[in-house]
Amino acid sequence: MNTIKEKLDDLNQLVLSGKLMEAFEKYYHNDVQMQENANAPTVGKEANRLRELEFLGNITEFRGASVHGVATDENISFVVWRYDYTHKEWGVRNYLQVSVQHWKDGLIAKEHFFYGN
């Protein structure tokens, strides 16, 4: 897999098959910055790994995720996701999210998530 499109398709398939952390380990840069809406970014793979594990640990019911659109260019990609789950602190969540990934050295170096409340 050499192109961003091929890598992104594989990443999305891993997420859809419930292998979120495998996707994270395989496709995220050690210096990755991940940011939710206008919140401050979380910097570094270890800090983001812990953030992801905490998020997953708070899901009490997962009803589904689906990809509604993908676009790629030279070092950037976009994915429109639909998520449906219940979170221990946030309650029932069913929403669209746009994930924007900036790639460096064949890995995601920055990811920004945009979604409504």
- pLDDT tens, 4-55? 999 999 999 999 998 999 999 999 999 999 999 999 999 999 999 999 999 9
pLDDT given for residue 69 in this prediction:
96
What's the rounded Cα separation, in Å, for the pair 80 and 88? 24
**Tokens of residue 105, six digits:** 């050295």
Query: What are the residue ranges spanned by the domains of the chain?
Result: 4-115
What's the rounded Cα separation, in Å, for the pair 26 and 93? 27
pLDDT given for residue 3 in this prediction:
92
pLDDT given for residue 36 in this prediction:
95
Tell whether the model's pLDDT for residue 100 goes beyond 90: yes
Residue type (1 letter), 55: F
Asked if 102 and 108 count as a contact pair (C-beta separation under 8 A), the reply is yes
What's the rounded Cα separation, in Å, for the pair 53 and 87? 13
pLDDT given for residue 117 in this prediction:
64
Chosen CATH of 4-115 out of 1.10.3210.10, 3.30.1330.30, 3.30.300.10, 3.10.450.50: 3.10.450.50
Tell whether the model's pLDDT for residue 116 goes beyond 80: yes
Tell whether the model's pLDDT for residue 2 goes beyond 90: no
What's the rounded Cα separation, in Å, for the pair 21 and 57? 12
Nearest residue to 113 via CA among 95, 98, 92: 98
Tell whether the model's pLDDT for residue 81 goes beyond 80: yes
Tell whether the model's pLDDT for residue 1 goes beyond 70: no
